[in-house]
Structure 1
Amino acid sequence: MKAFMDKDFLLETKTARTLYHDFAARMPIFDYHCHLDPSEIYENKTYKNITELWLGGDHYKWRAMRANGVEEYYITGDADDYEKFVKWAETIEKLIGNPLYHWTHLELKQYFQVETILKRSTAKQIWDACNKIIQEPNFSARGLIKQSNVVLIGTTDDPIDDLRYHKLLQEDQDYGTTVLPTFRPDMIMAIHHSQSWAEYVGKLGQVTGIEITGFDKLMEATEKRMDYFSEMGCKLSDHSIEPIVYEPATIQELDAIVSKAFDNEPLSEKENNQFLTSLLICLGKAYHKRGWVMQYHLGALRNVNSRIYRAIGPNVGVDSFRDGAIAEPLSKLLDEMDQMQQLPKTILYGLNSKDNEVLAAIAGNFQEGGIPSKVQFGSAWWFNDHIDGMVAQMKVLGNLGLLSRFVGMLTDSRSFLSYSRHEYFRRILCNMLGQWVENGEYPDDIEWLGQIVEDISYHNAEGYFDFNLKQSRVPLT
């Protein structure tokens, strides 16, 4: 019997162990998509205890605690931090089969040197051990990033954000990790919420000095913000699209839709779809012009528990995934940009695993000479970032595309401890390749395999995004 989470955790073969320890483990981290707050990085945030660091804002954990019958008072309520930690420890005991069990113990081991299993009976011991380490000077936002060997962090930013902290981080010559903004225009897309949309677009007009009276002016203001983001080093956009639609419209129809939204008149489903279609096409063309990468996160069904949403707000663990058809509207959307030769590099992430083959096949339809895997089937996301989900995503990509050109893992997280997920992913990748080799499916050429592992772990993302890094980070020895 193997020991729990030893150095060969998830590495079932000799080939897998060699690939991980000699190649994957030493590569830096290129975290091109996350939800970290740049102000916390610049100000080098410190933490009062493990609960603040671990449970604050982590809707994965909140969701699990609710499933374990924990009262909201101990999740997002006013219970003291130790009580919340104990309730999390009690929940961990019930999480066999869930990736949170692995992530929790990877983080304890990597950042706190704690190898004790977390459960109710060990909660006080681990609480004390972690809180002692948290008080050390290097246990801060920047310290955790440095420990994790992170080269680049791509945050997620609203178009009207002033990017003040990005500017300060870039001017900080003593800080080596590159932190760059990502353009996320979800609020511009949310025209179905006409009142909040009109208020937001009004702010967009104020920030840009453009009076937004119709669709063209909306795009003019949006592109002006893109130019500002470009000045701050941005080369990446991101969209949460739910659902994906395709409904063409004339400029007259678009202006009428914008006017209705400004007047707080309800839009029909067709009008909403017309606006989204034209907006996404115009955004894609604008990204292409600037050499940006476009990310589509597809299929979230958000805030389905309206009671909890009203009480606590969004992003609290009451989201799911859609099960509608995506192949035709997504293909038409990308094809329209491609016909104009203005389709940017694009990454497609699917939240419903039923769409894996669909997305991988669509990505293969829109490739371009000179740009390896220009359109990517992105990493297993949110409900899929567990062993089965990661393996399924990579196998589909291998079957229908080029796994060796995959840009690899991202954290998609608000926690500075989530870099352990890169280790998790790399172990899973190496184990999968190792099994293939030892089954005789692929040659036992360790240098060839090692290069593939290093590329997926780091080099592919470095080349695909082509960011200007503050400094190159050498692999760990």
Structure 2
Amino acid sequence: MDENYLLNTSLSQRLFHECAKNLPIIDYHNHLERKDLTGEKRYRNIAELWLLSDPYKHRAMRICGVSEDYITGGAGDKEKFRAWMDILPRLVGNPLYEWSILEMKRVFEIDLKPGITDPEWLWEQTNRKLSKPEYSAQRILQIFNVEYAAPCASIADDITAFEGTGSIAPSLRGDTMADLNAETIEQLEGIVQTPIFSLHDYCQAIRVRLNDFHRVGCRFSDHALDDGFEYIPDDGRNEQRFITWKQGASLNCDEKKRLSSEILRFLAGEYAKYGWTMQLHIGAQRYTSTRLRKLAGPAGGFAGIGNCCDIRSLTQMLDEFEQGVNGMPKVILFTLNPADNAAMSVLSGSYSGDGVEGNVQQGPAWWWCDHLYGMREVLETISSFGVLSTFVGMTTDSRSILSFVRHEYFRRVLCGWLGGKAANGEITASYEALRKLVEDICYYNAKKRITE
């Protein structure tokens, strides 16, 4: 892998090296541990940094037949590292092969050659560097030139660590608000020092917390609309449903969906009031292997791609958001099913906002799709069905701090794709026009989301 990896034309090389390469990173949604980013987190060895928190790598190891003991089980860190090094040469064609090389190069200045580099040497070299203060989590953010990172935090989480950090702010994970649970209610009551008996009380408590989140820099929320999501308009009975649930009675599936839809409507209006961006992650099938769920937990890297999105539900929900008192929040639609790409891109023209660029837009290739094939497909659909210049660009959505190399990977894919299009006569070959496009997609469009 040389400096022109994925850059097959002189124009694509110029766009990357002169425009994209050195731009700061705005990572508006990830699952990193906030205490790591806001504290003085150090890593005990390369396995902890490189493997233990990365479900992408775990999934690849399972596919290659590695025992779960060497993935999330009881094997030692060095044994897990050796198991990963054993299967890495087999991953040619999978983005993890290139990502792993980039991770070693950018953070440790080591030219990893899978199948050739001696694992024992790599273990010793990386661990020696990790023992130094300059390899803390915060220092790694500086290596990647991360200007803003937004790890997920739920509504009742302690967010005091974000105060005064500037470059680290929470992205509000909204699922525990929309899908009611007693633990969240109890925690909220303790935080706001007010009992919650009704839906009105609940919304008031959430308003208090949203103000707290905004004060520490939160500008993004996130909701999972998993496979089977259905939106149901208000029938005027959701206050009573909440009271019934709060008093200990169970709700049937339809009642739960109605109450969840009501809470989403309320939250969208609050996000619009604050000027936040509401991220909707659509289409994950999170229940696959019961065995792996028990072994590795709900985020263990074994989820699948669900059915195509219920477009009728989605558009009805967005339409009602738009008609709310505070109007439509800015929305990013992430789809896990590639069959939904065109449908999501088209919706960028269905819910415009006066004076707002890309008010509703398709997000970057997400989860199982954030590779060369998936990124190119999303670029094709956004440019064909929407307006590419408003695209908010890449975010990692990852649990591994080394995944910031995916911004470089995305920038290479973008510049290579544009250079190839220009060479084929499909788009302008004007360097100045494409320079502005690259800079906006890679940095400035996301920057606007946290400054406007």
Residue identity (%)? 36
Secondary structure of 2:90's match? coil
Mapped partners of 2:428, 2:173: distance in 1: 43
Task: Quote the residue 1:189 is aligned against.
Answer: 178
Amino acid at match of 1:250: D
One-letter amino acid of the structure 1 residue matched with residue 282 of structure 2? L
Contact 2:393–2:441 (Cα < 8 Å) also in 1:
yes
Q: State whether structure 2 residue 193 is matched by structure 1 residue 215.
A: no
How far did residue 395 of structure 1 move? Answer: 0.7
Q: Residues 232, 452 of structure 1: CA spacing in aligned structure 2 closer, same or farther, 3 A cutoff?
A: same
- State yes or no: 1:328 paired with 2:312: yes
Which amino acid is 1:269 matched to?
A: C
Deviation at 1:338, TM superposition (A): 1.0
Larger mean CA deviation between 261-270 and 301-310 belongs to 261-270
1:96 maps to a residue whose letter is: V
Aligned to 1:408: 393
Give ranges in structure 2 of 5+ residues lacking alignment.
none
After TM superposition, the structure 1 stretch with the greater mean CA deviation from structure 2, 25-34 or 378-387, is 25-34
- The Cα RMSD (Å) is 1.6
State whether structure 2 residue 436 is matched by structure 1 residue 438.
Answer: no
Query: For 1:69-94, what per-residue CA distance to the aligned partner results, in whole angstroms no more than 9, with x for missing partners?
Result: 11111111111111101110112122
User: How far apart are the structure 2 equivalents of 1:213 and 1:40?
Assistant: 36
Q: Would you say the 8 A contact 2:199–2:243 is kept in 1? A: no
What is the TM-score with the length of structure 2 in the denominator? 0.96
Worse overlay, 226-235 or 15-24: 226-235
Q: Which residue of 2 aligns with 1:270?
A: 254
State yes or no: 1:428 paired with 2:413.
yes
Mapped to 2, the partners of 1:245 and 1:133 lie a distance apart of 50
TM-aligned CA deviation for residue 121 of structure 1 = 6.6
Matched, 1:454 2:439: yes
Equivalent residues of 2:9, 2:419 under 8 A apart: yes
Tell me, in whole angstroms, the C-alpha distance in 1 between the residues paired with 2:150 and 2:117. Answer: 39
| Equivalent residue, structure 2, for 1:256 | 240
User: 1:318 matched to which residue of 2?
Assistant: 302
2:47–2:80 contact (8 Å) kept in structure 1: yes
With 429-438 and 118-127 compared, the bigger mean Cα shift is at 118-127
Shift of 1:309: 1.5
TM-score of the aligned structures, taking structure 1 as reference length: 0.91
Could you list the runs of 5+ residues in structure 1 that have no partner in the other structure? 171-176, 192-196, 468-477
Q: Is the 8 A contact 2:88 2:115 kept in 1?
A: yes
**Distance between the aligned counterparts of 2:270 and 2:177, measured in 1?**
15
Going from structure 1 to structure 2, the CA distance change for 1:438 and 1:312 (only over 3 Å counts) comes to closer
Alignment check: 8 A CA contact 2:156 2:184 kept = no
Q: 1:147 aligns with which of 130, 134, 143?
A: 143
- 1:358 paired to 2:354: no
Deviation by residue 1:102-146 (Cα, 9 ceiling, x = unmatched): 110110111111113123872222222222222232111111111
Contact between 1:89 and 1:120, CA under 8 Å: does it hold in 2? no
Q: Given the alignment of the two structures, is residue 71 of structure 1 paired with residue 102 of structure 2, yes or no?
A: no
- d(CA) in 2 for partners of 1:257 and 1:304? 31
Q: Give secondary structure in 2 for the equivalent of 1:358.
A: helix
- Deviations along 1:404-437, one digit per CA (max 9) or x if unpaired, are 1111011111222111100000000000000111
In the comparison of the two structures, how many residue pairs are matched? 450
Partner of 1:205: 189
The answer to whether the 8 Å contact 2:365/2:378 transfers is: yes
Match of 2:25 among 23, 29, 32: 29
What is the alpha-carbon distance in structure 2 between the residues aligned to residue 364 and residue 273 of structure 1? 28
For 2:343, the aligned partner's letter is V
Give the letter aligned to residue 282 of structure 1.
F
Deviation at 1:263, TM superposition (A): 4.6
Residue 293 of structure 2 corresponds to residue 309 of structure 1: yes
For residue 229 of structure 1, what is the aligned residue in structure 2?
Answer: 213
Question: What is the rounded CA distance, in whole Å, between the counterparts of 2:241 and 2:66 in structure 1?
Answer: 45
Tell me the CA shift for residue 310 of structure 1: 2.3
